[in-house]
């Protein structure tokens, strides 16, 4: 069964392209980033070291985030990247430049899409009438001003910042992605300074909250194939924390450079 899941996800990844449904768009991933508390300049919020809190705490935060709003990314051969907090020194030096995450059921999540950004909008820092997806209201404040300045100055991004793409325009949002700007002369310079992090390398999709819990929604825990040992250890601990809460799923590796088998089962 686990091997079949890896085959299914790999096929979904290879054929994924901008579409109106998440499953047709690719594989849906959530990087374990501490939920709406998020990761800030010093690493994980409410952590004295900036490093990830215990896996049980992370899983409980994920459960709460699902009930409120959850940021995810859809990946495919066309847009294979996810969030890497390499711009946060405490995480990078602690072996967490790549964080583990969960694979979500894209078919079940499609009807929960609130909005989509073709870049990392850091929606956990955006507050507008209780929603990170409120049209023409979400891009305001000091955080957003800095984000816009970075995207425009260094990456020459000229997209529409006024509002997020609503869920029904998911395909349009994903078609707006432009990974080449991460390696443009100016963009590459900033990307190197941030140890590989580029906000245009991946998308951010906000799912509306629901009370159904994580059972049936989470299909696997994963870590990237090139993740360091601490991140892999955390992935294994997260899987055990999930099992303790009644969510029994396999542990997968995600290798974005392996176009034949990007997802594989680990023992």
Kindly report the three-state secondary structure assignment for every residue of 83-108.
CCCCCCHHHHHCCCCCCCEEEECHHH
In the chain, the largest separation of any two C-alpha atoms, in whole Å, equals 49
Q: So where are the chain's domains?
A: 2-266
**Average pLDDT over the chain, rounded to an integer:** 84
The yes-or-no verdict on residue 61 having pLDDT over 80 is yes
pLDDT digits (tens, 9 = 90+) for 164-188: 788 899 999 999 888 887 877 767 7
Q: Which residues, including other chains, have CB under 8 Å from residue 5's CB and lie 6 or more apart?
A: 219, 220, 250, 252, 263, 265
The yes-or-no verdict on residue 38 having pLDDT over 90 is no
pLDDT digits (tens, 9 = 90+) for 90-145: 899 999 999 999 999 999 998 889 888 888 877 655 555 445 564 444 444 444 55
Q: What is the mean pLDDT of residues 27-52?
A: 82
């Amino acid at each position: 069964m686990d091997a079949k899941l890896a085959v299914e996800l790999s096929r979904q990844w290879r054929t994924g392209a901008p579409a109106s449904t998440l499953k047709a768009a690719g594989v849906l991933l959530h990087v374990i980033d501490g939920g709406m508390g998020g990761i800030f300049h010093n690493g994980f919020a409410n952590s004295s070291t900036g490093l990830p809190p215990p896996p049980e705490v992370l899983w409980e935060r994920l459960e709460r985030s699902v009930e409120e709003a959850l940021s995810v990314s859809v990946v495919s051969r066309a847009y294979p990247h996810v969030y890497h907090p390499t711009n946060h020194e405490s995480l990078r030096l602690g072996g967490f430049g790549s964080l583990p995450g969960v694979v979500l059921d894209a078919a079940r999540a499609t009807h929960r899409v609130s909005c989509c950004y073709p870049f990392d909008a850091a929606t956990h820092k955006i507050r507008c009438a209780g929603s990170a997806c409120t049209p023409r209201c979400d891009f305001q404040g000091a955080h957003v001003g800095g984000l816009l300045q970075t995207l425009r100055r260094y990456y020459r991004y000229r997209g529409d910042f006024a509002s997020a793409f609503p869920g029904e325009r998911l395909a349009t949002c994903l078609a707006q992605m432009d990974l080449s700007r991460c390696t443009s002369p100016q963009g590459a310079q900033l990307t190197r300074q941030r140890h590989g992090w580029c906000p245009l390398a991946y998308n951010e999709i906000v799912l509306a909250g629901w009370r159904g819990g994580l059972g049936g929604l989470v299909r696997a825990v994963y870590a990237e194939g090139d993740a360091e040992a601490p991140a892999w250890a955390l992935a294994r601990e997260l899987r055990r924390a999930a099992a303790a809460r009644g969510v029994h799923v396999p542990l997968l590796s995600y290798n974005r450079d392996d176009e034949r088998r990007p997802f594989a089962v680990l023992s």
